[in-house]
Amino acid sequence: MRRSDDTFLVVVGTIVGIVAVGLMIAGVAVLLVGSLGSEDGWFEGPPVSLSTDGSAVRTERLSLGANPGPWFPDGGAVRQRVTITPSSPDEPVFVGVAQSEDVDRWLADSGYTTVLGVDGDGRTEVEVVEGARSPAPPGDQDFWEVSASGTSPTAIIWDTRFGTWELVVANADGSADVAVAAEGQVRLRLAGQVGWTMVAAAVVVGLVALVMLLTAFRHRRRDARIERREAALH
């Protein structure tokens, strides 16, 4: 093998080795993140008080893009759980997740409050939209991806999917003056699978890099022995 070929193996093997190290670090990081949170893997956010003089509280739009094709898994990597407790135990409340365009149509000309952000202490930044129309009861609508209602603490669990989504909290009858306490949790469902896959890929790529480097060094040692023999003959 020529020296140029050996040099190529060394350069490519080194690059492949760096890729393997990066994969290993990323895989371990994903596994560590997945091991955090509560015992069952949920990451808990701060409790939040949500209220509005209008007919609903909605979150800012969560855009998860479009599915690139039927071959691509449609979400499921992140699971979200939201629990709401009505401020008045006699007032049934509703919580649901739906596409933003459907929420827009349902709340057209109605008053509502949009939550733009929540800080680490549970304080919210909101935008209030005025409106006079009372929307139809949310439970009568068929566009909700997941939903629940009740007078006691009520929870929904949603696996994220491609699309543009919003969480909506309202009174079960669609009336104005909504007030609840809310708690959100997130779990990375595929963290273990993704992390171990990356670690396994790092091992395989690392072995390829090792073979390339060992091959190049073995050839160089062989060439060095041949050069010493030729020099001794002369």
Strand partners, 94: 149, 170
- N- to C-terminal Cα separation, the chain: 23
Q: For the chain, 234 residues long, give each residue's pLDDT as a single digit of tens.
A: 455 666 787 888 888 889 888 888 888 887 776 666 555 667 777 888 999 999 999 998 876 654 445 544 455 567 888 999 998 888 899 999 999 999 999 999 999 999 988 887 778 888 999 998 999 999 999 999 999 999 888 899 988 877 889 999 999 999 999 999 998 888 776 666 777 888 888 899 889 888 888 887 887 777 667 666 766 666
pLDDT value at position 133? 92
Q: At what angle do helices 191-233 and 3-35 cross, to 10 degrees?
A: 160
3-state SS class at 185: strand
Strand partners, 116: none
65 CB-near residues (< 8 Å, 6+ apart): 162
Residue 60 gets which letter from DSSP? Answer: P
Count of beta carbons in the 10 Å neighbourhood of residue 71:
6
- Asked whether the beta carbons of 77 and 158 are under 8 A apart, the reply is no
Write down the pTM of the prediction.
Answer: 0.65
Q: What's the 3-state SS for 133-145?
A: CCCCCHHHCCCCC
pLDDT value at position 34? 65
pLDDT value at position 232? 66
